């Protein structure tokens, strides 16, 4: 989708980045912009000799982003390296990362190209067995990511957004979003006071989460690459929004909390108790609040995205207010 955060590069700039990263060992044979993402821009590059790599570029410094989106690329590179080191989850290998702003005034990195097709592009053609297998395998991989523990709750990319308690972290996440909304005069079906009241009345429930788990936090179908023939998972991408938090947040942000095959492998059960179901509602409130607020920041080309997100936010807000 088109977004103001997605920085476009000309061919000469891309060629200079390739030469710098790979020490003049390769030339650019072909390049194609990858348009499926929502935040960073990416290019598929065919190098001389036939090797394929992906170049990912962060937004320019003068592009206004949400508070939690600062230094996202630094977090992504760190988390990709961490997952590769501590698990066998199929994530692309980071080949080169540059935050020195020598050639361009953005962070960028090169990573391995994953052979496969995004799940959202083939899902309608899959059988129930294929869907069950993908859900179960994704649950297993996500559980391995969750098993990487942190010593704080909060954002990997922002040091002053880290907390000893999950309740305090989640309260910060809602507070930051409401401040982002105020900065852009975003109309919402809930005030900041009402939003924080929703969080505060669930303090004891959020307090049950006592171990910070690494969460990818963006496991929607477009970030899951599968084999085009047997639909086995080939790779998981785009972990720049990773956070240490409650494992249930992972399921909600990936729209997977209703997928029994995923939940059985990831969370150990598909049926949640009352406290867990309430936390799911809280995380849906956070997710749809985020989706609505990010629209004016990104200036998305598709207005239907915001309409859908607003309807979902209004629905879950009403559920939490009663």
Of 112, 142, 166, which residue is a domain's last? 112
Shared domain for 103 and 143, answered yes or no, is no
Distances (CA, A) of 92 to 18, 79, 235: 18, 11, 7
Contact 112, 225 (CB under 8 A): no
97 and 182 fall within a common domain: no
Among the three residues 91, 112, 133, which one is the final residue of a domain in this structure? 112
- Residue 3 counted as domain residue: no
The pLDDT of residue 38 is 64
Return phi, psi of residue 212, to 5°. Answer: -70, 115
18 and 48 both lie in a single domain: yes
* Full domain range(s) for residue 279: 118-321
Q: Is residue 5 part of a domain?
A: no
Instruction: Name which of 84, 97, 95, 102 is nearest 57 in CA terms.
Output: 97
Among the candidates 51, 82, 112, a domain finishes at 112
The model's pTM is: 0.93
Which backbone phi and psi does 94 adopt, to 5 degrees?
-75, 125
> In CATH, what number is assigned to the domain containing residue 63?
3.30.200.20
* Dihedral pair phi/psi, residue 33, rounded to 5°: -75, 135
Predicted pLDDT of residue 60: 85
Residue 1, in any domain of the structure: no
Q: Identify whether residues 191 and 267 lie together within a single domain.
A: yes
- Residue 298 has a pLDDT of 80
Q: Are 57 and 41 in contact (CB under 8 A)?
A: yes
Distance CA 78, CA 169 (A): 21
**Are residues 101 and 177 located together in one domain of the fold?**
no
Domain shared by 83 and 167, yes or no: no
User: Are 84 and 189 contained in the same domain?
Assistant: no
**Whether the Cβ atoms of residue 6 and residue 40 lie closer than 8 Å to each other:** yes
Say yes or no: 30 and 98 in one domain.
yes
At residue 2, the pLDDT reads 61
* Residue 108 sits in the same domain as residue 125: no
- Structural domain total, the chain: 2
Q: Average pLDDT of each block of 10 consecutive residues along the chain (322 residues)?
A: 75 95 91 80 92 93 88 94 97 96 93 95 96 98 98 93 97 97 95 96 96 97 96 96 97 96 95 96 98 88 87 96 70
């Amino acid at each position: 989708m088109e977004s103001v955060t997605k920085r476009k590069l000309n061919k000469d700039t891309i060629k200079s980045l390739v030469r710098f990263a790979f020490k003049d060992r390769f030339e650019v044979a072909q390049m194609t912009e990858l348009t499926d993402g929502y935040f960073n821009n990416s290019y598929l590059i065919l190098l001389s000799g036939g090797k394929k790599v992906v170049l990912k570029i962060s937004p320019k410094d003068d592009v206004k982003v949400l508070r939690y989106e600062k230094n996202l690329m630094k977090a992504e590179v760190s988390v990709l390296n961490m997952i590769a080191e501590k698990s066998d989850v199929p994530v692309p290998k980071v080949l080169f990362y540059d935050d020195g702003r020598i050639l361009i005034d953005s962070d960028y990195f090169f990573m391995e190209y994953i052979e496969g097709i995004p799940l959202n592009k083939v899902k309608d053609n899959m059988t129930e067995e294929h869907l069950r297998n993908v859900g179960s395998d994704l649950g297993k991989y996500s559980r391995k990511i969750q098993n990487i523990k942190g010593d704080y709750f909060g954002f990997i990319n922002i040091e002053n957004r880290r907390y000893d308690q999950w309740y305090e972290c989640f309260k910060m996440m809602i507070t930051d979003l409401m401040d982002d909304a105020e900065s852009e005069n975003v109309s919402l079906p809930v005030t900041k006071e009402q939003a924080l009241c929703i969080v505060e009345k669930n303090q004891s429930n959020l307090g049950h989460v006592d171990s910070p788990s690494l969460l990818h936090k963006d496991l929607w179908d477009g970030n899951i690459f599968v084999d085009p023939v047997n639909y086995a998972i080939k790779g998981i991408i785009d972990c720049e929004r990773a956070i240490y938090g409650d494992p249930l947040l992972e399921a909600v942000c990936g729209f997977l909390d209703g997928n029994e095959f995923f939940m059985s492998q990831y969370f150990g059960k598909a049926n949640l108790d009352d406290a867990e179901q309430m936390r799911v509602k809280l995380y849906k409130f956070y997710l749809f609040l985020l989706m609505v607020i990010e629209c004016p920041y990104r200036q998305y080309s598709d207005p239907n995205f915001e309409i859908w997100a607003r309807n979902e936010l209004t629905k879950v807000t009403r559920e939490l207010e009663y």
